[in-house]
Amino acid sequence: MSNANLRIVASLLAGLLFGLGLIISGMSNPAKILNFLDVFGTWDASLAFVMAGAVAVTFVGYRFVLSRNQPLFEAKFFVPTAKDIDAPLIAGATIFGMGWGLSGFCPGPALAALPLLADGTLVFVPAMLVGMWFARFAPKLKSPREAPGIH
């Protein structure tokens, strides 16, 4: 099997494992998410354990993977290096948080819930795709350092 085919198979298996984890953990159930976010109402703390588990797995996984000289299917690692907190980051996080809080979905769990026809997925996923399409053509926000005349 060629390197390109192995990359596709590995991506497919990783996506299936991720989606299965989202479904098993309840992250694809918008009611469970909204209950987690309702701290002063019907709070469901179980997703805190899911998030803690995800952080632990990511911590160990990064240590293991980055101890290698190079990834299996690429010549080098592509790890984000940006550490700035700027207007695009704040705007994106705000829009993401508002959408998550209003709908109970974020993109990964929404796609995992789509085949289950969970309430709201048939509205959320098309709206998400339209938003992604529009975002490709929207003027990019610039951080103060990139704006003309500001140094």
Identify whether 147 is part of a domain. no
Identify whether 25 is part of a domain. yes
- How many domains are contained in the chain? 1
Domain that holds residue 83: 3-137
37 Ramachandran zone, left/alpha/beta (phi>0; psi -120 to 50):
alpha
Q: Cα torsion at 79, 81, 83, 89 (round to 10°)?
A: -60
pTM > 0.85: yes or no: no
- CA-based nearest residue to 142, from 101, 86, 96, 93: 86
Identify whether 143 is part of a domain. no
| Rounded Cα distance, 35 and 41, in Å | 8
Identify whether 149 is part of a domain. no
Q: Would you give per-residue pLDDT tens digits along the chain (151 residues)?
A: 787 888 899 999 999 998 898 888 888 888 888 898 898 999 999 989 988 999 999 999 989 999 999 988 888 888 888 888 988 889 889 988 898 888 888 888 888 888 878 778 888 899 889 988 888 877 665 555 554 444 3
| Rounded Cα distance, 29 and 133, in Å | 25
